[in-house]
Structure 1
Amino acid sequence: MIWKPNVTVAAVVEEEGSFLLVEERESPGAMTLFNQPAGHLEAGESLIHAVIRETLEETGYTFVPEWLLGVYHWHSTNNDTTYLRFAFSGCVTDFDQDYVREACIVNADWHDMPQIEALTMRHRSPLVNQCIQDFCAGKRYPLEVLTHYN
């Protein structure tokens, strides 16, 4: 059997010094955790389409990817799962305040750096902070580095 990581996408969106984060609950009664709008790549889907879809489903915002921020490999000891995360930076254009978010999403809101740092112990993974650090460091790769064949 061939081992395969879980492929995920994430949107790192900054506006006026604040970042868009989702507060999510993995199961009833569990503590809420903070993450970028993110989720799993679906069969037949491009990475670009996945990050646009996930951002809309979790926040109600329409995300426009402008750059590949990075590719991150992380193994979670909590669930013994390895993730390969493709993080994108870009902007949001439209917001549908009536959009019904995924049930696990408690809230989607903008957080400045002091708030994000204060929530570090409630980040879903260390990738939340790493992606923000890479964004602030100016890491940007053209979307053309990605190729999708149907």
Structure 2
Amino acid sequence: MSKPRWKPSVTVAAVIEQDGRYLLVEEQTSLGLRLNTPAGHLEPGESPLDGAVREALEETARPFRPQALLGVYLAGSLDAEGTSATWLRIAYCGAAGAPEPGRALDRGIVRTLWMTLGEVRASQSRHRSPLVLRCVEDHARGRRFALDVVYTDASIQIAGDDALA
């Protein structure tokens, strides 16, 4: 008898720092209001870089210009019902433009806020995952990799087309 196939959920994230403050979102989750960097699920047929740009715009109403790969992270979590999940996060860092006038924040996002590193550390109990602080601290430490470290083959379009059919 074979075991069920294990599949971590792939998420993409944007770590945005400006003038010593990090852009976070406050979002409604099954565990209540939580803080996160702009992040979300990678969609079928989408490169991780494109996904991070899309998620940042949807959650902050600001265009995101990735400048470097911050890292690839793996973490587990439990939801309010005690169901476990594993998350593979691909995080990028870069700059954000001005908010797009009239653009609504994604469903579940209550607000955006700019926080210092100290404030992010102090709010750790409210983070959506342990990867929020880790990504922000990696950025503050100067961790950076070239954007082309994550390669996306054109064949993802086939998988994306199948998922949408």
TM value normalised by structure 1: 0.93
| 2:24–2:114 contact (8 Å) kept in structure 1 | yes
Structure 1 residue corresponding to 2:19, chosen from 6, 16, 20: 16
**Which runs of 5 or more residues in structure 1 are unaligned?**
none
- Deviating 4+ runs (over 4 angstroms): none
Larger of the two Rg values belongs to structure: 2
**Which runs of 5 or more residues in structure 2 are unaligned?**
155-165
CA distance in 1, matches of 2:88, 2:118: 27
| 2:117–2:136 contact (8 Å) kept in structure 1 | no
Whichever residue aligns with residue 118 of structure 1, its letter is A
- CA deviation digits over 1:56-90, x for unaligned, max 9? 00000000111100000111134300000001000
- CA deviation digits over 1:97-124, x for unaligned, max 9? 4211112000012111232122111000
- Count residues with an aligned counterpart: 148
Match of 1:111 in 2: 115
TM value normalised by structure 2: 0.85
> Is 12-21 or 91-100 further displaced after alignment?
91-100
CA distance in 1, matches of 2:150, 2:18: 25
CA distance in 1, matches of 2:6, 2:41: 17
CA distance in 2, matches of 1:12, 1:66: 10
Aligned-CA RMSD value: 1.2
Match of 2:60 in 1: 59
Match of 1:123 in 2: 127
Q: SS at the partner of 1:32?
A: strand
Whichever residue aligns with residue 106 of structure 2, its letter is E
Overall identity of the aligned pairs, in %: 43
Please give the residue correspondences for 1:1-150 in structure 2 after superposition, counting only pairs within 5 Å. Answer: 1-27=4-30, 31-78=32-79, 79-150=83-154
